[in-house]
Amino acid sequence: MTRDRVMYWAQIIGVGPTSTYRIPRKEMVTNSYNRNYRFCGLCRETKTIIYQGKLKEEDIIHELLHFKFPKISHSNVRTITNILLRILEE
């Protein structure tokens, strides 16, 4: 399921093939004291979405938008992500 969704959104956003890598929780070290902290990010060199836990649709869209539009602010990426999610719900 995850792979299909990543490929779907990569095609829609126009970034081409993208891979994913799930980090085991025990391998992630953060400064966060929140036990519910989830990491999700993008390795630009390999076009890989790196994540912890479950990769959500919102995460996929968000990270691919960062890749496609690196100069857009984080706030604007969140706004565009939410718009795309609302369209998906209709």
Which domains, ranges and CATH numbers included, belong to the chain? 2-89 (3.30.2010.10)
- Residue from 19, 15, 11, 17 nearest 55 by CA: 19
Query: In this structure, are residues 68 and 49 in contact, taking their beta carbons and an 8 Å threshold?
Result: no
pLDDT tens figures, 38-76: 788 999 999 999 998 889 999 999 999 999 999 999 999
The pLDDT of residue 39: 82
Enter the tokens of residue 84.
Answer: 């795309």
**Strand 40-43 versus strand 19-22 pairing type:** unpaired
pTM given for the model: 0.84
CA 26 to CA 66: how far, in whole Å? 27
Alpha-carbon distance of 30 to 68, in angstroms, equals: 27
Mean pLDDT, residues 3-19 = 92
